[in-house]
Amino acid sequence: MADPPLPPDFTLQKLTQAQRAFESALGAGKVFFEDLDRTTYRDKFAVNDAVHHPAGAIAPTTVEEVQVALKVANQFRLPIWPISRGKNLGYGGSAPLVSGSVVMDLSGMKKIEFNEEFGTVVLEPGVGFYDLYDYIRQHQLPFWLSTPGNSWGSVVGNALDRGVGYTPYGEHTKNICGMEVVLPTGEVVRTGMGAFSNAPTWQAYPFGFGPGWDQMFVQSNFGVVTKMGMWLMPEPESLMGMDVEFDRPEDLKAMVDTIGPLRRERVLQQSPSIGNWLRAAAVATTRDEWTDQPGALSDSVIDAIRKRFGLGWWGVSLRLYGREDVNKAAYKILEKAMTDIKPLVIKPTTWVKGQPLEYSGWTGTPITFPMQNVNWYGGRGGHIGFSPIIPQNGTKALEQFQRTYARYKEYGMDYQGSFAFGERHLTNVNAMLFNKDDPAMMKKVDPFFRQLVADAKEQGYGEYRTHLDYMDVVAASYDWNGGALGKLNQKVKDALDPNGILAPGKSGIWPKGARA
């Protein structure tokens, strides 16, 4: 067996002692320090395979075991990297930021508590989207999930990284209501109304009394979330909508300026996502079917692919949920708005409760087929995402697209991009697809990503979520008033985690002693 990677200022002897302490506290069956274990927890989509290697993993299955594991970590000053299910693909997966960290795998914590009256649920971090979906179906509960494009992951973990879905409940972090958290020092706290003993309103009112802490544990390293309350959408009486295709890249401006006001008015209550042709095509074909030429695809090849699959340059799916009479009235507004900006095609869709359900993200069913896009180039496929937040303005969106598309061509990469609507913002998700078996391509990914960060920074646009490799880069771009927000994060980190053991460096938040 090869020697494991070690965290900074650690010895192999000390790591072995920590492993024995974990085995004593948790049982040997929940401690994993073999070579295969370390390989299993690496980032499958890593741009650089030489970094982010764990020393091993532990798998507590109760709150008490999480507490005792953190006690051991504090005793040895050993960095711990919590994961829910480790399926945050494209952002680091199950790998830790600091090599030599021990992964705390919470996938065995799978309890579900459902309140059918109010459509609220309390979940442990190991509950995946498929688990919750199966639970709802098994118990015939009249509620729908909101699922991301890769539904292998954890419901809790996805919300904690601000993941999004396709229904009116698609901004998942907004539907968090109450948490149970083990702090780095081992204390257990409950947020919101959970701080009030026996409160029946823990999942009904998110704020409680005093500061609201739920969002402080989102994308942070301030605690280990062991329970989370979530709101789920009541099963609608009907669903109506349309899939709309547009012919030219320049049509993005009209699409944003037409859909944006409807979203802000809440005629559209879900968050549509405008995607380019490759987002659709990459799940149905691979690049080698069309060309063997290096560099970004030519317009003629793009035209051929679009023709084969009947795709516009951009496509968007719009959906209405709720009472059928209300949906019918809103549909007329949508139809006129889309027709006025001259799409290639409008494909209507309808569903009424009692009819067979189309299994898709729009109907709250878990899906994984979008991950097929990582096979676009062949070889060991992967991707990372560059996703700045930009104004919900058509001119700004078109300019952002044109800058980004030019960079994709400059670096010889095929462009997969989308613009997802919040109520007031757009999230411009740019997927960098790559082939890990192509060394020349992999050399370009890092400088390409950093260039996109710099381009967005010039416009005042910052990312909302990023890969392990770029957490410091993105955190540093939030630089107002000398990086005051980062300094505040550091103060909270030092207060809650005096030994700096919990996920050092996550979201650019480093403990004292490691900031250099």
Nearest to 209 by CA among 228, 222, 226, 196: 196
Residue 460 gets the label, from left (phi > 0), alpha (psi -120 to 50) or beta, of: left
Token pair for 310: 């009947």
Spatial distance between the Cα atoms of 195 and 397, rounded to a whole number of angstroms:
43
Spatial distance between the Cα atoms of 13 and 15, rounded to a whole number of angstroms:
5
In terms of C-beta density within 10 A (0-12 exposed, 13-18 middle, 19 or more buried), how is residue 12 classed? Answer: exposed
Q: How far is CA 302 from CA 18, 247, 287, 297, 299, in A?
A: 55, 12, 11, 7, 5
Q: Strand 224-231 and strand 176-182: pairing?
A: antiparallel
Q: Which residues are catalytic?
A: 91, 464-465
In degrees, rounded to 5, the angle at the alpha carbon of residue 275 between the alpha carbons of residues 272 and 279 is 130
Q: Which amino acid is at 71?
A: K
Are the C-beta atoms of residues 432 and 413 closer than 8 Å to each other? yes
Residue 179 neighbours by CB under 8 Å, 6+ apart: 190, 191, 192, 194, 213, 214, 217, 225, 227, 228, 229
Q: Is 155 helix (H, G, I), strand (E, B) or coil?
A: helix
Q: Is 238 helix (H, G, I), strand (E, B) or coil?
A: strand
Fill in the DSSP letter of residue 364. Answer: T
Q: Which amino acid is at 511?
A: P
Q: Which residues pair with 348 in a beta bridge?
A: 242
Residue 131 neighbours by CB under 8 Å, 6+ apart: 110, 112
Are the C-beta atoms of residues 434 and 378 closer than 8 Å to each other? no
Q: How does DSSP assign 300-340, residue by residue?
A: HHHHHHHHHHT--SEEEEEEEEE-HHHHHHHHHHHHHHHHH
Are the C-beta atoms of residues 462 and 470 closer than 8 Å to each other? no
Token pair for 86: 């480790």
